Amino acid sequence: MGLLSVLALSASISVAACATTYDYIVVGSGPGGAPLAANLARAGYSTLLIEAGGDEADNPTYRDLGNFIEACNDEASRWDFWVKHNDDPKVDALFKHNTWDTGDGTFYVGQNPPAGAKHLGIQYPRAGVLGGCSLHNAGVSSLAQDDDWNIVANLTGDSSWEASKMHRYLKEISKTEYLPAGNPDHGYNGWLSFIADDPSWAKQNNTPGVRIVHKFAELIGQKGEDALTLLSQNDLLSSGPNKDEKSSLFNMVYHANAQGKRSTPRDFVTATLADPAKYPLTLKLRTLVTKILFSNSTTSPRALGVEVMEGASLYRADPKHTPGAKGPISQIFANKEVIISGGAFNSPQLLKLSGIGPASELTQFGIKVIKDLPGVGEKLGDNYEASIMALTKEPIPAGLMTTIFRTPNAPTKKRNIYAWCGPFSFEGFWPGFPTNYGPTQWECAMVQIGPKSQRGTVRLRSADPQDTPDINFRFFKDQGDADISELVSASNILREAWKAAGAPAEPFQELHPCPGELGKAPCTDAMQAEYIRTQAYSHHATSSCAIGADSDPMAVLDSKFRVRGVQGLRVVDASAFPVVPGAFPVVPTMMLSQKASEDIIADAKKA
């Protein structure tokens, strides 16, 4: 595509058409909303996709996957949510990366803020941009556990959610670039490209990195000499029987193409917009949806459309927001349905602002109750994340060692830890993250699969749609000791593998959770548990508008994503999952979006 064509396409997606009525309105252009809007338009339905942010087009900060740290820190798209991890402010105060507004346009990160600084909380960045968080994440791609799909089938009686039937949605969206065509477990004609890591570093003989990866393979029941084969051939996106019980090394997969460029739902949207004569999709950028409009019926309210405020950086999570900034307000209507895809924070907020949620909370802010749904904004869940970090005597030349494994204290036979190790630093999010410890840094980062506590909440701070909600993850509220003990067990296994490094990498000087020389400094399970309890972090929020059983008063959605008690309204994004799906929810959310597309189009054809 030439320069003029690129400029023309960018211009074409900056301004929406003047029509005020569409078949469908989709609010939010992330991994849930963007594919859905494109699919509806490709099925012939006039569809409006609304995004509060802009479009970063081919900005290399976003387009090149290797720049994900810069993308996540970039004010061009960053939305800052300042969250709590705990009900007890004394516990949250122990988190080392608490953030403060100094009042001079800068942040202070730490536990000893300057006088007069305003405490903000713990940063949880999201992306206000076309494509949502798929534009600023690290691109890591993995599957949900089979049980994460089966739970929906079991709760609702809808067998279409069974894991054996869900994998086809991945095949439909996939363009697999790391395997030769013809593998029946993969798709090759979809809009989402996948590539895999280059594990050739593991060919080296008798180097510290290779010794570590060989030892780790042995610790999880594999053969050390098979490490290169496992890293090369074990496929994270393969289904197969008992896949969730297989502890092994794996080849890390990314949603990107062979040139290292991100592959995201944005690409699917722009490809759809490029043929307006065939696909009736309209995109409205820099537009904040302030409420859902309903009919006046008191017995069977129906979503009729949305109210919007137009302008850039209107939402206060946007660091570019100007206090007091407003925009013109208008209404847009849907002939068929309104679909909310704002993500785990914004979807429940918008439902509540529109009168759908716990009646007691809505009346507190003077919001007319359309439907009392106590589960809206409840059951917020996330993967717990933690890391062990050290400095080595000499740098360890190695790529990423990726593994999914089961700790001995896991509650079932299923794997419960996704980890990756290498010469990098990642310890959570704060303005300007991460800390660069230099060329000798060595880390193993962990994501817990299947956390047992989902007691987080997304609640209104005010009735102002420009305001951010009050978010509290309530880490470790239920069965917290069990969750922590699994992370401690994983730390011990990973650390044991480090001891195989040998010269010239040793000695390791561990920075956390057990500061001091590896093998000599005290490192008890209790010490590690306390560190994890106060320093765990997360960035995979889900389940705040969860699908559930008809008999469950906390269920927000039915199995077809329909909001209970109202008509013409669905939620399609990560907030719909009843449990946190696997270790990384971005690919499961795109699979969920593909399923929702099929369900909605099928319903439209019946009407």
Which residues line the annotated binding site for FAD? 129, 137-140, 289
Strand partners, 287: 310
DSSP assignments along 127-152, one per residue: E-BTTGGGGTS--EE-PPPHHHHHHH
Cα angle, residue 119 at apex, residues 116 and 123 outer, rounded to 5°: 145
Quick check: 568 and 336 in contact, CB under 8 A?
yes
Topology at the third CATH level for domain 198-251+383-535: Glucose Oxidase; domain 3 (3.30.560)
Cβ–Cβ contacts within 10 Å for residue 245, how many? 12
Q: Which pLDDT score is estimated for 10?
A: 36
Give the separation between CA 118 and CA 102, rounded to whole angstroms: 6
User: Which residues, given as ranges, of the chain have pLDDT below 50?
Assistant: 1-19
Write the CA distances from 246 to 217, 253, 303, 415, 470, integer angstroms: 12, 17, 45, 7, 39
Model confidence, pTM: 0.96
Rounded to a whole number of angstroms, the CA Rg of the chain reads 24
Report which DSSP code applies to 412.
S
Amino acid symbol at 191: W
Q: Which pLDDT score is estimated for 197?
A: 94
507 prior amide bond cis, ω within 30: yes
Paired tokens of 228: 């290169």
Give the separation between CA 17 and CA 369, rounded to whole angstroms: 33
Q: Is 468 helix (H, G, I), strand (E, B) or coil?
A: coil
Beta strands 192-196 and 174-176 are parallel
For domain 3-61+135-167+265-376+543-606, the question of CATH label 3.40.50.300 is answered with: no
Phi, psi (degrees; rounded to nearest 5) at 120 = -100, -45
Structure-derived torsion over alpha carbons of residues 212, 218, 224, 229, reported in degrees to the nearest 10: -100
Cβ–Cβ contacts within 10 Å for residue 110, how many? 12
Paired tokens of 25: 């309105």
DSSP assignments along 298-343, one per residue: SSS-BEEEEEEEESTT-STTSTTPPTT----EEEEEEEEEEEE--H
The per-residue pLDDT for range 398-449, each reduced to its tens digit, is 999 999 999 999 999 999 999 999 999 999 999 999 999 999 999 999 999 9
Strand partners, 127: 78
Cβ neighbours of residue 249 closer than 8 Å, sequence gap 6 or more:
213, 216, 217, 222, 227, 230, 231, 234, 401, 402, 403
Q: Which pLDDT score is estimated for 153?
A: 98
Give the separation between CA 459 and CA 84, rounded to whole angstroms: 12
Nearest to 54 by CA among 345, 288, 267: 288
Cα angle, residue 143 at apex, residues 139 and 146 outer, rounded to 5°: 165
Strand partners, 542: 381
Cβ–Cβ contacts within 10 Å for residue 602, how many? 10
Q: 445-454: string of b/e by CB count within 10 Å (b at 16+)?
A: bbbbbbbbbb
**Cα 254–chain centre separation:** 14
Which residues line the annotated binding site? 129, 137-140, 289
Domain ranges for the chain, please list them: 3-61+135-167+265-376+543-606, 69-128, 198-251+383-535
The per-residue pLDDT for range 590-603, each reduced to its tens digit, is 999 999 999 999 99
